[in-house]
């Protein structure tokens, strides 16, 4: 099949591209490198079934032709990370909602399956745990910036399901719960890579609040397996699925685990939310998925558990810190160049 991954130079997208190529598919990646990185997909360039395009998911002239040539679109392009969400709320909402609307509208013309990446953030302050896909969603007030992100992803979900209902466009919504693994960038506030990098440097491991908030962490390989399984299952059309690990851990316990496994001398440093974020930030006390639905349909089961996730993440950052950074600006080809014309035609 011909598969398009928007945001494919990002953390999850680049791993998904690798797996789909291994399965024999033709894969195209669209990314503007605002948060994705060229080095995530550089090793895929020699593959004869791979192509990448520099561009925004909001750009009609780029998205239209790419979507029309695809059998499946994995729409992963979005604003990512707590820091970006809090600092740039207009960009966050515009990118998430506008990008999804553009992809779905063009997919309607071709009938391509669209897999929409959503987030556990949509559950908000729900109290029925673990979170089920059919649960009521409880968001905070609009002056708390975090909920703008959750609301934008929820609109993405409504749009996807509306296209299925009104136009029978095959769509699947997946709600990710803290996916972790190689290539995840620490600069956007991602908790595990930040803890790992601090532990490796024997610096204080910074915990926001008292660390009692809980999360569940899913290995990126398990997430990719869920995505490829859902892609092949027609019964998934028009449905919402949690994709995550149902093992819950307090953030302070996570920090201690990272310190112990890394054999680090780091201290645990607790920082009040008010010192990190402005008054418009609000955290979620718990976040853990019910994965009964996806398990029943495609047999999904997270195989890599937290101790191994931490060990693998430590191994990745030990290697990454020893490698020179790749200047993406020297690698990116602009639209309209002969290289773009050649790779674009390959999809």
The domains found in the chain, sorted by start residue, are 2-179+219-244+286-302+330-345 (3.40.50.720)
pLDDT at 84: 67
Nearest C-alpha neighbor of 55 from the set 4, 18, 17, 19: 4
pLDDT at 327: 34
- 316 catalytic? Reply is no
pLDDT at 326: 37
Greater model confidence, 264 or 34: 264
pLDDT digits (tens, 9 = 90+) for 87-99: 778 888 888 999 9
Greater model confidence, 85 or 228: 228
pLDDT at 282: 73
pLDDT at 334: 32
What is the residue whose two structure tokens read 């851990």? Answer: 249
pLDDT confidence tier of residue 144, bands split at 50, 70 and 90: confident
Q: How much is the pTM? A: 0.89
pLDDT at 166: 98
**Mean pLDDT in residue range 30-54:** 95
Given 149, 273, 316, 340, which residue is catalytic?
149
Cis bond upstream, residue 194 (ω within 30): no
């Amino acid at each position: 099949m011909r598969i398009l991954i928007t945001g494919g130079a990002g953390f999850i997208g680049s791993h998904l591209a690798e797996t789909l190529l291994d399965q024999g598919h033709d894969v195209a990646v669209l990314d503007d490198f605002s948060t994705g990185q060229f080095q995530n997909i550089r090793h895929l360039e020699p593959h004869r079934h791979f192509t990448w395009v520099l561009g925004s998911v909001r750009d009609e002239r780029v998205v239209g032709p790419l979507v029309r040539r695809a059998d499946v679109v994995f729409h992963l392009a979005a604003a990512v990370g707590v820091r970006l969400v809090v600092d740039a709320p207009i960009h966050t909402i515009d990118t998430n909602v506008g990008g999804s609307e553009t992809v779905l509208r063009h997919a309607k013309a071709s009938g391509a399956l669209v897999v929409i990446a959503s987030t556990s953030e949509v559950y908000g302050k729900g109290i029925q745990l673990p979170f089920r896909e059919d649960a009521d969603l409880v968001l905070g007030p609009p002056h708390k910036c975090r909920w703008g992100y959750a609301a934008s992803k929820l609109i993405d979900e409504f749009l996807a399901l509306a296209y299925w209902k009104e136009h029978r466009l095959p769509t699947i919504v997946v709600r990710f719960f803290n996916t972790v693994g190689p290539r995840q960038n620490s600069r956007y506030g991602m908790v595990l890579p930040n803890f790992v990098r601090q532990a490796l440097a024997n610096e204080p491991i910074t915990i926001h609040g008292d660390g009692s908030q809980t999360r569940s962490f899913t290995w990126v390989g398990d997430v990719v397996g869920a995505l490829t399984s859902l892609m092949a299952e027609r019964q998934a059309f028009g449905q919402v699925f949690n994709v995550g690990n149902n093992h819950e851990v307090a953030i302070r316990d996570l920090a201690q685990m990272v310190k112990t496994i890394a054999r680090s001398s780091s201290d645990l440093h607790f920082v009040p939310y008010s010192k990190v974020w402005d008054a418009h930030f609000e955290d979620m006390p718990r976040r853990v998925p019910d994965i009964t639905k996806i398990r029943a349909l495609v047999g999904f089961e997270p195989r890599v558990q937290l101790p191994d996730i931490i060990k693998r993440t430590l191994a990745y950052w030990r290697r990454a810190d020893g490698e020179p950074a790749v200047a993406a600006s020297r690698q990116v080809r602009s639209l309209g160049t002969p290289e773009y014309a050649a790779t674009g035609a390959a999809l």
